Chain A
Amino acid sequence: MTDRTVHKSPSAGGVSHYLTDYSVARGQFSWQEARRALAGGESRLNMAHEALERPIGLGLGDRVAARFIDRNWNRADLTYAQLHLRACRFANILRSLGLGRGAAVATVLGRGPELFIAGLGTLKAGNVFCSLFSAFGPEPLQTRLQLGHVRVLVTTESLYRRKVAGIRAALPELRHVLIVRETPQGDLPADTADFAQLMSRAPETYDSAPTRDEDVALLHFTSGTTGKPKGVTLTHAAVIAQHVTSQLVLDLHPGEVFWCTADPGWVTGIAYGLIGPLTCGASMIVDREEFDPQRWYRILEEERVNIWYTAPTAIRMLMKAGTALARGRKYPHLRHMASVGEPLNAEAVTWGLEAFDMPFHDTWWQTETGAIMIANFPACEVRAGSMGRAVPGVEAQVVRRAEGGGLEVIDSDDQAGEIALKPGWPSMFSGYLEDPERYRASFLEGWYLAGDLARRDRDGYFWFIGRADDIIKSAGHLISPFEVESALMRHPAVAQVAVIGVPDPICGQAVKAFIELRAGFEESEELRRNIMGHARRLLGAAVAPREIAFKESLPRTRSGKIMRRLLRARELGLPEGDLSTLEGRE
């Protein structure tokens, strides 16, 4: 493991950091005090209220909350005050639709104003907001809309036609579909309503619902170790941790320009692409386009981005495009860069120094934790390749599950084990939807077990080792091999299938499927393409396998279970006899 340390001088960047001395910050921190700093009273707390009314109350109403940049470089700004009025309108729409408190509202949208408006309006109305990944195919969307009992969906016309229209009949609970038009004219699909038209008629005042800390605010789906995705619920209290970490880890000050490149279909895109930065009074940059190195450098320069939160896959693609391209522009306003999604390799951390004169700061968390838990902090030294140290208020340990069923906290340095967090931070998930058993199984002897393997060095820095299960981490997305396998099994030529993650220089892990064909089918390039096309249509490009290999027979245990670990070992050229050490190997 590379151990390169990037030291910091206390005055770097010319801004006073929220966290200057790690030990002092840890010693002084309390969640009670963090909660008191927010606007919510003793018995009420509302995420949208903290994201809109609180900054407006602090005099930031006329500041830009979000700037949306489209393909042709048209920029559209929404101030805090404007965003607030629109969120109120959307909350009124929900009320007029007769939606009860707590019912779920989903979006299948890219990064755009409607996502912000629907998300904040939903939270304001006391409904549960569920932002779904717009690159999902119809199959994953159907599963999630069903599991979430989603009543209202906001999506665009083309996404609806491509992905939702065909599954609508299977979604009896989905009562209202609001369409964001892409062209001003023309008929909308049957049984849908016009988002803009409803918005124009809705009143623009709405008192935030008096939600309490423990009321569910957000529903995020993540991949589990079965074919069924996990519906992770976060409560309104999560805003406390999202606010605190936006300050302590991302160092967002009011008025600063912040760019989070995450897709809103994942937890980062909501916690740090919507809620957290607004609670800090930051001005967000929202690029409506997909990744493009030249475009990204132009945004960093022209938009005078101060703080940038991106992902390892993007950073590695930028590295591939060359340092000279990065150096072709100037970034005098940029003062902090952070990364999340999968472990950031040491080379990528230090490439930041070459390209931007500052390192990338890796952070670690997951949907279940609701906010950043482990991080490299702006004022502290960065250990390249390390996830960083536990956020103040968070107790993190490395543990080992004992043979007899108990738990052993590993005290010695640099020993591999599973990351465990002591419950008590306010953004901890409140449940897995309709799966209390699975929720209970996530905890052992008073610790939440994260499923990620790591070691901790003598100074408290965590170093990622791998996943403890078969979940694939690809381009920042958690992908369940089971979900991919069940889609592949529906192809008429597929008899058996096993899906694993294989190392990929760009996206960390790439999804690879090993397929045993049914009798009567011959392996061919045409068949390979046919199966891949089938998977992409059902699952979407981001989830479907990028590679397919045909096998005469797949390795199985005596009970007939396909051994993904053995496949992975063979794929990576590792000794097959030493399977115990292979779990989650990168």
Chain B
Amino acid sequence: MDPTALRTKLLSLLAGVAPDIEPGSVDPERALREQFDFDSMDALHFATAVSEAFGIEIAETEYPRLASLHAAEQLVQERLAARG
């Protein structure tokens, strides 16, 4: 998937869960939890939203891989590639 489109999509999903986060202020490398008031319920809702939006399965044990924007992008790309 085009990396720019993917980032835009993920930021929009993030805004659905935590609309107080300014998309422009997200440091993609740092954990969301460290940058914002983003708790474990938010993390759970974000994982569900990502899974539904891309039609990919994300196991609970993989949630830490959605900790930062960059990590989330990698996970989604990986899953989409595996699906072919």
Give me the interface of A with B, judged by CB distance under 8 Å.
135, 137, 290-294, 317, 320-322, 325, 475, 506-507, 529-530, 532-534, 536-537, 540-542, 546
Which residue from chain A places its CB closest to the CB of B45 in the assembled complex?
Answer: A546
Q: How far is the CA of A506 from the CA of B33 in the complex (A)?
A: 19
Contact of A293 among B16, B18, B45, B61 (CB under 8 A): B61
Please judge, given known A-B contacts A317-B44, A529-B19, A536-B19, whether A322 and B64 are in contact too, CB under 8 Å: no
Contact assessment for B19 and A532 in the assembled complex, using a CB-CB cutoff below 8 Å = yes
Contact of A320 among B21, B37, B60 (CB under 8 A): B60
Across-interface contacts of B20 in A (CB, < 8 A):
532-534, 536-537
Contact assessment for A541 and B37 in the assembled complex, using a CB-CB cutoff below 8 Å = yes
Across-interface contacts of A532 in B (CB, < 8 A):
19-20
Q: How far is the CA of A120 from the CA of B16 in the complex (A)?
A: 41
Q: How far is the CA of A320 from the CA of B40 in the complex (A)?
A: 13
Contact assessment for A506 and B41 in the assembled complex, using a CB-CB cutoff below 8 Å = yes
Q: How far is the CA of A320 from the CA of B61 in the complex (A)?
A: 10
Please judge, given known A-B contacts A135-B37, A542-B39, whether A322 and B61 are in contact too, CB under 8 Å: yes
Residue from B15, B19, B42, B61 having most chain A Cβ neighbours under 10 A: B19
Q: How far is the CA of A291 from the CA of B67 in the complex (A)?
A: 12
Q: How far is the CA of A290 from the CA of B64 in the complex (A)?
A: 11
Q: How far is the CA of A291 from the CA of B42 in the complex (A)?
A: 12
Across-interface contacts of A542 in B (CB, < 8 A):
39, 41
Q: How far is the CB of B2 from chain A (nearest CB, A)?
A: 24
Contact assessment for B39 and A135 in the assembled complex, using a CB-CB cutoff below 8 Å = yes
14 sample A-B contacts, Cβ–Cβ < 8 Å, listed by A number: A292-B40, A294-B64, A321-B60, A322-B61, A507-B41, A533-B20, A534-B20, A536-B20, A541-B18, A541-B38, A541-B39, A541-B41, A542-B39, A542-B41
Q: How far is the CB of B51 from chain A (nearest CB, A)?
A: 13
Across-interface contacts of A507 in B (CB, < 8 A):
41
Contact of A530 among B18, B19, B37 (CB under 8 A): B19
Which residue from chain A places its CB closest to the CB of B15 in the assembled complex?
Answer: A529
Q: How far is the CB of A155 from chain B (nearest CB, A)?
A: 15
Q: How far is the CB of A114 from chain B (nearest CB, A)?
A: 18
Q: How far is the CB of A27 from chain B (nearest CB, A)?
A: 43
